[in-house]
Each structure stands twice: as structure tokens, then as C-alpha cells.
Amino acid sequence: MSEEQTLAEARIDEAIRRIARFHKECDYQRLVDIPLIPPPASEQEIETLEVQLGCSLPAEYRMVLNRCKYLFIFEGYRIWGIDGPGQRPGIERWEGRDCLVFGDYWRDADGDNLVLDLDSPPKSSILVWHHDEASYEFLAPSLSVALCKIVDELFPEEHFEEAVRRTIEEIRFAEKPWWKRLFGGASK
């Protein structure tokens, strides 16, 4: 294994560790009826996905799938994969480039997607597809770096407890009946 592969695996493992810690500390699982970080995909499942897509998966995307079939990071931030909720990865051709669309990135709350540029060597540049503007934005040079960047945006280590506290408040608010959210009043 090369030094870059070792670093990529370490970044992915650290990001997943922080995501799992966040989920646990704010009891995020109670909002969702699917596993947030499911078990790893089997090699057969990954190979089946490659056949369905008609291409081999980039190494770092395989690394993520070897750790979990998909990854629910936070509402609007997901890495799609195998047996996950909603979308599945797919190949799209945009502006003459083959791209793997593989996740949600709703930083601007408008349904943008994570895209892996399959035409950039070594199949690693991560872009954000802004569907409303029909444009790309460069996010990171690789999936492992993008995953760390997303985790740092959502719950940075230096403000981790604050992110957990805010999320717990949002969960409590979301659990109130709609009329109490609209008109006020204490939740029982």
C-alpha cells in the first residue's frame, strides 16, 4: 500500500470516527429509521455496483464502501452507496466529462450533489454540482480530503460540543407536535 493510500485510509477512518461520535452524542439515530453508518459492503456488492455503473470505482470511494455501505453524515450530507436510502450512485456526462454522482451536499440547502470527476487523473477530484446554476465548484482533490472538509464544516473539533448542543436543541424542536412548533408551548 502506498503512503497516499495509507493517508487516505487514515483520513476516512478519522472522519467516520467523528461522524459516529457526533451521532452518538446527540442521539441522531432517533431521527432516522435506517442505520446512519451501516456495516461494510461486501466485495461482491461493490463489484455488482461497478457492473451496474459500467466502470471501476475510484480507490477512495471503494475505501468508504469497504467501511460502510453508505454514509449518512447529517441531514443533506450523505455518501450514497449500496442499499442506502434515496439516491444511488450514477454516471452522468456533464460538459464532456464522465462523472460519478455519489452524494448529497446541501450546504446551501438546495439539493446540490457530490461528484467525482472520472476524467481527472487519478479519478479523484471532488466537485459539487450546483443544479440550480448548472455549474461545478471544486471541493477537494480527493474523496478522503472532501470527507474531512465536510466533517470540519459541520462539526469542527474546536466547536464540537456546540454543534452537538445545537443539534440536540433542533432534535427536541423537531419532535414537538407541529402545532406547538407553530404556536409555541412546552412539549411534553
Half-sphere exposure of 50 (CA within 13 A, CB side): 15
Backbone angles phi, psi at 109, to 5 degrees: 55, 35
Domain ranges of the chain: 3-87+143-183
Residues 6 or more apart whose CB falls under 8 angstroms from that of 99 comprise 91, 92, 93, 115, 116, 117, 118, 119, 127, 129
Per-residue pLDDT of the chain (188 residues), as tens digits, is 789 889 999 999 999 999 999 999 999 888 888 899 999 999 999 999 999 999 999 999 999 999 999 999 998 899 999 987 778 999 988 778 888 999 988 876 667 889 888 887 665 678 787 766 777 888 888 899 999 999 999 989 899 999 999 988 888 887 777 777 677 655 44
Residues 6+ apart with CB under 8 A from 176: 187
- CA R_g for the chain: 18
Alpha helices (runs of H) in 26-137, residue ranges in sequence order: 43-53, 59-65
Q: Is the peptide bond before 122 cis (omega within 30 degrees of 0)?
A: yes
Distance CA 64, CA 156 (A): 21
Alpha carbon distance 39, 41 (integer Å): 7
Q: Give the global pTM.
A: 0.85
H helical segments located in 54-159? 59-65, 143-154
